[in-house]
Structure 1
């Protein structure tokens, strides 16, 4: 049986942090982005408005900052090994995130078949971000359906990995899900729950059913 494994990034592959936080650390606006993150988590900011405000905070962001943020992020252990195992089984793996595509797509060399982040202008910014183009929780389901069509599978063949409210819609659309270091939004929805720092261990739960 061919399966498609769908991974959230912030809080799931990145332990206790997010791309926006790691990027903001590089240019000294971590406190400001944490305020936005709290408002976002509380449902007070839509993804597009979060992106618009983050774009304003990141006017000094350079490609070197992006590289440093990515390399220094607290990634779970075993990501490359997990994706290599998925590929060896003849299965597929993809990342779907609300975070900027210029950060998410850096995961492709680690072994993901696809990595979808919200469309942002290139760094350094010379044009505004389009709030209407920023991914939402429902976008994750739409992109998952597009990936299913591309890989010749259906939702019934999918496994979702996530940690928060932005993964609720996707968890509700697939038969197997793994809550990774998750909050209460997805804990009761998930087929399996994992707390720890090694993606190989979370993936092993999905292999059980």
Structure 2
């Protein structure tokens, strides 16, 4: 059985430009943005978008999946800094939450698009990667006595879902500071 043929370099570049433009346009205009607007922002004819993404739903799903992949990569990097570099787990959890909340504050439209789409198997895989990394990070914070022993990854997701992403940065920072104080074991 032969492996799939690799994409040409120009096709890879075109797809990357489309994804960047789609993310920008969905963030600015919401998931209702037209394919024509995305094509114009990417510098292509709309037919080029349809070559890469047969439907607008496919394109929006790809943007959402890329966002979930970025969150999973960030969670794994935070875990790596704790396990490999000795960075305090609670510091990494705080940094992860800060980045996630700030991203969500600017990407309301991507968040709305994610809720509107059915679960994508690739996105579920990346969500599982993020959950596994965060679970291990929380466990490391428990081991160091820095985090309440009853705090779990489910609690982390609950906290994120209630984050004041519609507020200015200084309000989000204050919310997180109060929250972390309440979560610490000491």
TM over 0.5: no
TM-score, scaled to structure 2: 0.28
TM-score, scaled to structure 1: 0.26
The structure whose residues are more often strand, as a share, is 1
The structure whose residues are more often helix, as a share, is 2
